[in-house]
Chains A and B, each alone.
Chain A
Amino acid sequence: MKEINSSVITDTVARLAIEANRQLGEDVVRAFESGRERERSPAGRDILDQLLENARLARKDAVPMCQDTGLAIVFLEVGQDLHIEGDLEKAVQEGVRQGYSAGYLRKSVVSPPIAPRKNTGDNTPAIIHTRIVPGSSLKITVAPKGGGSENMSALKMLKPAEGWEGARKFILETVEKAGPNPCPPLVIGVGLGGNFEHSAFLAKKALLRTVAERSRDPGTAALEEQLTEDINRLGIGPAGFGGDVTALGVHIEMHPCHIASLPVAVNINCHAHRHKEAIL
């Protein structure tokens, strides 16, 4: 049986947290560049130029691209034939603690969530989603998520009769209501189906895709295309100053659901679309 020591997990999580905050993915950089080509608003083009320069500086100077270095969301896919020496969850939390300290990242977690809301001082606890999968590898994804965009996210339990049109209307309303607040241009994760908590999880998971990577299901991919068009007609634009590039990508994940239900969850991500992964 393959074995890994939990200290390797700690080191990996720490490294991924730092890299995610300093090195914007090439997919996002390309999305800024192609957005700049089609943006009609001069103010919007100006914002996209600033974001490209910001990403370049963050990488070059090894500083976080944004001051909100996020709540650390960690996805683990644990192979069922893998043996981990030590405590897996503790190892992940320790990785977050070390990464946020060594990387000069901001500590943005308070406890309890109501007064006195004291900063925990090390950005823990991270939110950990673990799945057991076949095989003997461990896949770790660290996705630091900013508060401004998370605050604009929403979930609704629709009536099945409302169908895709109802879901589409709710998604558009959520993006429109968010306006300039979540730092557009956005990446939008949508979870459709499942149940209350699973739709929210799917919306988050949808954000792990490469920007504008379409669903493997052709029907879902067509809905993503349509929704991207619809959102980009809202006129919000980069930074919300008005323009054509409001969404860099819309990613939909679907799941079967109860005969009485149609849950839809919208997880909004800012343009700092951060996630890094490693396979051990």
Chain B
Amino acid sequence: MSEEKKVFLSAPLTDGDVTALRCGDRVLITGVLYIARDAAHARLVSLLNEGKPLPFDIQGQIIYYVGPTPARPGSVIGSAGPTTSGRMDAYAPALMEAGLKGMIGKGSRSGEVREAMARSKAVYFAATGGAGALLAQRILKAEVVAYDDLGPEAIRRLEVKDFPVIVVNDTFGGDLYEKGVAEYRRP
């Protein structure tokens, strides 16, 4: 990553952390991330709908959309890059309502998710899609906290150091994908 405009954040996040971010900011996250993708999201949202507690405290947390490869003996985790976030759009607003402050993935979010981000003060980051070997090096610890039966889709708690992401959607309606394409599109 190049060195300009770099923000250092520790996770979990506060409202102040989130509202200080703008789309395009390069951020290095140190602290805790939770891994969840399609199947785990469906289960989390059913718990919320039934008024039951979640398997982890979601206040201020960041969810990283990833299904890692199995760790080789002696490693913390396998390859661990982001998956396409749009598949989690149906579930994300309910989780933000419950206290989620950040999401890491790749690809565009729906209008509903972006509105929920502004309303609930949460931010959407992208990590580099397909750079799973590189990103895994920034993960210091990984443990399954729920849904081990889902295999690669289990919820894991990660400890990361200087995990590189870029802000795609901030709480003010900014969208890096739209901005970037508008800047480089040629007739």
Interface residues of chain A, those whose CB is within 8 Å of chain B, are 40-43, 46-47, 50-51, 53-54, 57-58, 61, 63-69, 104-108, 117, 119, 121, 147-148, 151, 179-183, 233-237, 239-244, 270-272
Contacts and interface: CB of A to CB of B under 8 A. Distances in A.
A234 B81 CA distance: 25
Contact of A51 (B70, B131, B183): B131
B28 to A, nearest CB: 14
A147 B106 CA distance: 13
Contact of A43 (B72, B134, B136, B166): B166
18 contacts: A57-B137, A63-B69, A63-B75, A63-B133, A64-B132, A65-B132, A67-B66, A106-B78, A119-B153, A121-B151, A148-B83, A179-B177, A180-B126, A183-B130, A233-B185, A242-B177, A242-B184, A270-B129
B130 A106 contact: no
Instruction: Name the prevailing secondary structure of the A interface residues.
Output: loop
B184 A65 contact: no
A63 B182 contact: no
A108 B150 contact: no
Contacts of A61: 133
A181 B166 CA distance: 15
Question: Which 7 interchain pairs have the tightest Cβ spacing?
Answer: A242-B180, A235-B185, A181-B107, A183-B129, A235-B184, A67-B132, A54-B134
A67 B150 CA distance: 16
Contact of A242 (B81, B84, B181): B181
Contacts of B106: 148, 180-181, 183, 239-240
B140 interface: no
B152 interface: yes
Given A41-B180, A47-B128, A50-B134, 20 more contacts: A50-B128, A57-B134, A64-B79, A64-B132, A66-B81, A67-B68, A104-B78, A106-B69, A148-B106, A179-B107, A180-B177, A181-B107, A183-B106, A233-B186, A234-B181, A240-B106, A240-B108, A242-B179, A242-B184, A243-B184
B20 interface: no
Contacts of B66: 67
A140 B3 CA distance: 45
B1 A46 contact: yes
Contacts of A233: 185-187
A104 B180 contact: no
A178 to B, nearest CB: 9
